[in-house]
Amino acid sequence: MYFVGSGVLANDVFASCLIKGYRHPMSKTGKDVEDYEIKGIGEGCWAQIAEWWNRIHIPLPYIPKLYTFLKWSFLVIIAVCTALVGFFQSFLVSTVYMLRAKYFIFRVVNDDLDWRWRILEYAGINAILAFLCTFTLYVISPAASGSGIPDVKAFLNGVESPAFKQFFTVKTFIAKVLASALGVSSGMAMGKEGPMLHAGSILAVIMGGNKWMQQQMESLSHWGVYTYNKELRDLVAIGAACGVTTAFKSPVGGVMFAMEISTRWRKDLTTRCFLACAITIVVVQAAILICNGYGECYELKYGSLIFFNQQYPAHFEQIWAAAILAVIGGYVSCLFTSFNTWICLVRKKWSKIMWARMLEVVCISIGTSIVFYILPTIGSCRPCTNQYIGMGNCIMGSGTEFQTFNGYHCSHLYNSSNYYNDMAVLVFNPQGFKLQALFTAPSNYRENDSSATHSFTIASLLVYGGMYWFLAAVTYGAFIPSGLFTPSLILGGCLGRAFAEILILMGVPNVDVGMYALLGAGAFMGGLMRMVSAMAMILMEMTTSPQQLPFLMMVLVIAKQVGDHFNYGVFEHQMMLKGLQFVGIDDMGSDKIKKEKISARDVMSKNMRSKTLYCLESGAVLETALEVNKNLGAFPVTTVPEDESNSASGDFLGLISRANVMTLLEQYGRESDCIDLTQKVEIAPVTIPPNMPLPFIYRIVQGEGFNYVPVVRYHGCLEGVVSREELVDIQNQKLDDFHLKDQIDRMNADLEAGQILGSMHLGDNIHAARFKEGMRDITQGMLNIMKNPVKATKDFLEEEGDKDEDQKEFFLTEAHGKSVFVQPAGNRHTGIPPAVESAASKAFIPTAEHQSEASPLLLEINPGAVAEVPLSQAPASNEMTPLLSRADQRLQSSNHDVHNVDRNK
């Protein structure tokens, strides 16, 4: 029976639904069971049967909503497309490299040709490729210049810039892929990995850029004008992760890189990124296998990192040497950042002249070619270690496929074909082969063996590394899609390998030169980009050497800390140069936030009538507000106060976007006397009090993606609004230990005055000052420790505590019948508090004695004006007490000495 087969519940339902009078239907009728069931069910039993069926029936598979389905589908499409584009780019670079080597490089190393003809051919082909690179950008999309990582990082940070309208387009994508391949093939000191990240981000924006998806994303943003488009930025982060995965064959490294450049990250985004990167690496490997199956991918090894695999032993007894290498690499890389910043400022003098930007690229290419042609003439001839003698591989090593150009500039030696030029190996090989030579070629050094030699001499490594350092710094930022990943690997490899060769000469046992080349690359990348976890995973996955992960982690952390002592990362410098309002308060002066006790009232833009609209406004007022505040994206809206002279007395209603103000103005016209703004006002999801500490504001803005955070008093009056602009200003003024914006402004002023070399400020720049200070402190500290370790430690701790307290000190004294505000010299960078300026202006005594940097800042204030300073204008609690003290509470001093005000008052 049908119901009986379903258990006890079926019997109960069947029994309750039988027609009365049929106790034993099967024995009396003898009919089929199914026929009996149909006829034996009475009216009203269908509901019970349906309920029972739903309880035992397996539910249909869950079908997600259309937006969720498309969101995950686009993720797969982004991953597949990024992998295929990366494979195509690597194939294009490798093909051009092979043709360039076959028809030009091998002719250059032929000593039978005249040297003038050889250098003309070498520089000519490189210049043509460089010109095609920059011409591609000029014709298709100039926005494709640069690596793209600083812009993507700023976009993920929530920055809104007009430049982004051209930054994420199909034209920019095409120009980026083609131009980066041509630029790398030209032999300039640049990489293609950063542009690949940008290309993946563009694919993500293209996927989510259709009108329907944008509407869905805007509806999911919940808070409209208050937040930026978080869904689109999630797709960009996924695209960036796929780009890094394609470039380095590093899926986990791609996820970590996207996580480190993003300031808003969630657990579900990690899941989506992992899936996308997994699909990307599978597609890349499948494309390689299919290509190899048809025998058409032999050229793919030229200039590509895809075929690079190497494992190294872990010698933990050499941890001290790795730490020293990390310090050196961190300092060299932060010098690179500062020098490149100066180069980019000089480049701005002709940045608006397109033909000059293109000519600069061609000149850089020609200069690079001349330098690379000359370097092998000072190289060292090394004996081959492989029995195979020819133009190919003559260095014995695992997986080595780079060219050694046997006999080049070694004709003075007997049987010169058995020798190779170590500098030629580094100059004429493609980038992937250079890294193989640095990371895999053995040292060949054996103790007590006079015939033993090194694959690369220390002099060749340092000379080539120094010239490549200079060329890479000059090239990065030019009108080409140049990246820094591969140059960083080459520079760090040269540094680490030279360091290892020195260790060998010192007699350190079991030194693996390839391992130190890898650690040197990690040290340089850590000091340059300030990314620890991402770089560690990328280097580990790229070389398939998990044994080196502890060394890489330590080296990256030390190099980052060394770099943080002198400047910020190269991407932060580039964002500052481009004027992108990047908010990085957690990384920039987090300790100073606690010391300064910065709150919302110090950060917010004050409630001003010119920036605040009432709920009922005339068309003329709206037009004026739009004209005066051209850069304001939204306006706070309050009720009409009883006393309109005090705009802060109106209760806060919400924000209205600039676009909605323009819509209402078009709808009602300029002549309208009363336009109701409440129909377009968006209620604030969160408001903060004026005393909200800055770290909490930062978490709100960065964690939830808010562009505007209203500052409201307890009874509803609007005090001001904290926006990204205000956070950037307070960051540059009070939290930036290096005063990067001031440095850039000072160098710009010197360049405008024609002082090109003087603008570098070699004698008084931040590097020189920090280096002298560090060396002095280290020397003095070592002397103190040698004398009395306990006392030295105690003095150090007490000195740090006094230093923190001194940064909080503000003084108020009475001199010659006037109150004098005194700001110590060590706290000059914080600027004059707004309350002091207000008091001075009321007293009509705008006198400030700006002496040298070693002198305190003195500002005369009339005694009657001190008590008039309102509470809302006091910038911080540590400044309120001396500024709000009543006139009769000021300290009296007969000799007019400076006294500290009692904070308890």
User: For the domain that residue 236 is a member of, what is the CATH number?
Assistant: 1.10.3080.10
Note whether residue 162 is domain-resident.
yes
Taking the CB of residue 66, how many other CB atoms lie within 10 A of it? 10
Q: How far apart are CA 211 and CA 202, in angstroms?
A: 16
List, for residues 504-515, the tens digit of each pLDDT value.
Answer: 989 888 888 989
Give bridge partners of residue 734 from the DSSP assignment: none
Q: Looking at 83-97, 226-240, 444-458, which range is the least confident one? A: 444-458
For residue 812, give both structure tokens: 């108020």
Please check whether residue 848 is in contact with residue 892, taking contact to mean a CB–CB distance below 8 angstroms: no
Who wins on pLDDT, 209 or 93?
Answer: 93
CA distance 416 to 409: 9
pLDDT digits (tens, 9 = 90+) for 816-852: 444 444 444 344 444 445 444 444 433 333 333 333 3
Residue 349 lies in a domain: no
Apex 417 CA angle, 416 and 420, nearest 5: 85
Final residue belonging to a domain, choices 691, 706, 723 = 723
Beta strands (DSSP E) in 396-453 are 419-421
Mean pLDDT of the chain: 75
Pairwise CA distance, residues 89 & 179, whole Å: 10
262 band by pLDDT with thresholds 50, 70 and 90: confident
DSSP alpha helices (H): ranges in 43-163? Answer: 46-56, 66-100, 106-108, 115-140, 149-156
Q: What percent of the chain has pLDDT over 90?
A: 24
Alpha helices in 684-788 (DSSP H): 694-704, 724-730, 740-752, 766-787
Q: How many other CB atoms sit within 10 Å of the CB of residue 808?
A: 16
Euclidean distance between CA atoms 511 and 193, whole angstroms? 31
Is 557 inside any structural domain? no
pTM for the model stands at: 0.76
pLDDT at residue 190 in the model: 92
Instruction: Please name every residue paired with 656 in a beta bridge, in sequence order, or none if there are none.
Output: 635
Enumerate residues 6+ apart whose C-beta is below 8 A from 665: 619, 622, 623, 626, 675
Q: What are phi and psi of 811, to 5 degrees?
A: -125, 150
Distance between CA 298 and CA 276 in Å, rounded? Answer: 28
Q: Looking up tokens 């720049």, which residue turns up?
A: 765
Amino acid (1-letter code) at residue 208: G
Residue 806: what pLDDT? 40
Q: In the structure, what pLDDT confidence band is assigned to residue 709 with cuts at 50, 70 and 90?
A: confident
pLDDT at 440 over 70: yes
Crossing angle, helix 766-787 and helix 319-347, to 10 degrees?
A: 150
384 confidence band (pLDDT: 50, 70, 90)? confident
Residue 529 lies in a domain: no
**pLDDT score of 20 more than 70:** no
In a domain, 291, yes or no: yes
- Domain boundary among the residues 301, 331, 361 is at 301
Dihedral angle computed from the Cα positions of residues 729, 730, 734 and 740, in that order, rounded to the nearest 10 degrees = -30
Q: What is the mean pLDDT of residues 660-673?
A: 87
Encode pLDDT of 116-155 as tens digits: 888 888 899 999 999 999 999 999 999 999 889 999 998 8
User: The tokens 């040298």 sit on which residue?
Assistant: 852
| Number of neighbouring beta carbons within 10 Å of residue 434 | 23
Give yes or no for a contact between 746 and 600, defined as CB atoms under 8 angstroms apart.
Answer: no
Domain count, the chain: 2
pLDDT tops 60 at residue 435: yes
Considering only 22-26, 232-236, 441-445, 680-684, which range has the smallest mean pLDDT?
A: 22-26
Print the domain residue range for 663: 590-723
Is residue 512 classed as helix, strand or coil in its secondary structure? coil
In this prediction, residue 402 has a pLDDT band, given cuts at 50, 70 and 90, of low
Q: Which of 182, 227, 177, 184 is nearest to 202 (CA)?
A: 177
Helix axis angle, 211-220 to 66-100, nearest 10°: 120
Whether residue 333 lies inside any domain: the answer is no
The residue among 468 and 851 whose pLDDT is bigger is: 468
Q: What is the arithmetic mean of pLDDT over 469-491?
A: 93
Contact 635, 608 (CB under 8 A): no
Domain end (from 275, 301, 327): 301
Q: Count CB neighbours of 332 within 10 A.
A: 23
Cα(623)–Cα(664) distance, integer angstroms: 10
Beta bridge partners of 688: 711
How much is the pLDDT for 51?
59
What CATH number is associated with residue 682? Answer: 3.10.580.10
User: Burial, 752: exposed, middle or buried (Cβ in 10 Å; 0-12, 13-18, 19+)?
Assistant: exposed
Of 337, 344, 335, nearest to 146 (Cα)?
A: 344
- Tell me the three-class secondary structure of 719-743, residue by residue: EEEEEHHHHHHHHHHHHCCCCHHHH
Integer CA distances (angstroms), 243 to 84, 183, 298, in order: 11, 18, 23
The Cβ-side half-sphere exposure at 28, using a 13 Å CA radius, reads 6
Q: Would you state the pLDDT for residue 655?
A: 86
Rounded CA gap, 220 and 385, in Å? 64
Place 54 in a pLDDT band, splitting at 50, 70 and 90: low
Q: Is residue 692 part of a domain?
A: yes
- Indicate whether 697 pLDDT > 70: yes
First to last CA, the chain: 92
* DSSP-H helix ranges across 111-229: 115-140, 149-156, 164-167, 170-185, 193-207, 211-220
Lowest-confidence segment of 184-193, 232-241, 449-458, 528-537 by average pLDDT: 449-458
The stretch 793-817 carries a mean pLDDT of 49
Residues shown for the chain: 905
User: How confident is residue 537, by pLDDT bands cut at 50, 70 and 90?
Assistant: very high
> Is the pLDDT assigned to residue 288 strictly greater than 70?
yes
Question: Above 50 in pLDDT, residue 4?
Answer: no
Q: Is residue 688 part of a domain?
A: yes
Compare 891 and 517 and report the one with higher pLDDT: 517
Mean of pLDDT values over 252-262? 92
Answer yes or no: is pLDDT of 554 > 50. Answer: yes
Q: How confident is the model at residue 26 (pLDDT cuts 50, 70, 90)?
A: very low
Of residues 506 and 684, which shows the higher confidence score? Answer: 506
